Structure 1
Amino acid sequence: MGRGAVILGALLVGAAPAHAASANTLTELWRILGDCAKLGAVPTSAAGSEVTVVFSLKRDGSLLGQPRISHSRLVGNAGDQRDFIAGSLAAISRCLPIPVTDGLGGAIAGRPLRLRLTSHKPERAL
């Protein structure tokens, strides 16, 4: 097992987040995940990095199995890249389990979901 898998597993174990309502549609699910998974402080030298995390949920909105990174484009030095990955995984960890209705839970259970997280480059002053 690689270092990334160990970090990923460690970060995705935590307390349930507080969400206002259960997601009833895929649109609501992605809105809740997107709002929740915003990256915190990312090293400036890692700006422009991105990862796509593939994961599955159980019927109750909790994590099923081990998430994996299916794509990454990392910039900056090795430490900045590790910080970006850790921040990305922590962002997802904060969101799970996500409350879903019975209908949506049955529709998404076991299906692969992909969430792309990016660190935008700061705007240049004119």
Structure 2
Amino acid sequence: MKKLVVLIVAAGSALAGALGQAHAEPLKTMDDVGEALQACWSPPTGISGASVTLSFSFKRDGSLIGPPKTTAVNVQGSEQDRKTFVDAATKAVGSCVPLELASSLANGIAGTVYTMEFTSANR
């Protein structure tokens, strides 16, 4: 099975918050998906300059095929800070799904691996 890795660059939290869950219609593009997922993201307090990249795949119904996998972590501080940050990003993705996908996107999304970076402020 052909797998395509698409990096969805983390958008500014203000833009994402304004656009994410406010979609009145199904998501039509991967940019829409990225904005919706970013709207669910709230970095843990007290951890700045951090990032985590997660990989995940969707089913046609907008749910996840399995849990997101951590592919890169940049968190300065303790192991607990690292775990807290990764867990928050994973929870953000889980709390957003299933996404309502337009049929044109749903037909091509199933099984494709996507990656997305979640960052904290002051990065």
With normalisation by structure 1, the TM-score equals: 0.71
Local SS of the residue matching 1:52: strand
2:33 to 29, 35, 43: 29
Local SS of the residue matching 2:82: helix
**For residues 55 and 71 of structure 1, what CA distance do their matches in structure 2 show?**
13
Aligned to 1:65: 66
With normalisation by structure 2, the TM-score equals: 0.73
Local SS of the residue matching 1:93: helix
Greater radius of gyration (CA): 1
Residue 39 (1) aligns with residue 3 (2): no
**For residues 22 and 95 of structure 2, what CA distance do their matches in structure 1 show?**
9
What is the percentage of aligned positions where both structures have the same residue? 30
Aligned to 2:87: 86
Residue 28 to residue 18, structure 1, CA distance change in 2 (3 Å): closer
Structure 1: gaps of 5 or more residues: 1-16
State the Cα RMSD in Å.
2.1
Aligned length: 103
Residue 18 of structure 1 deviates from its aligned partner by 8.9
Residue 55 (1) aligns with residue 56 (2): yes
Residue 94 of structure 1 deviates from its aligned partner by 1.2
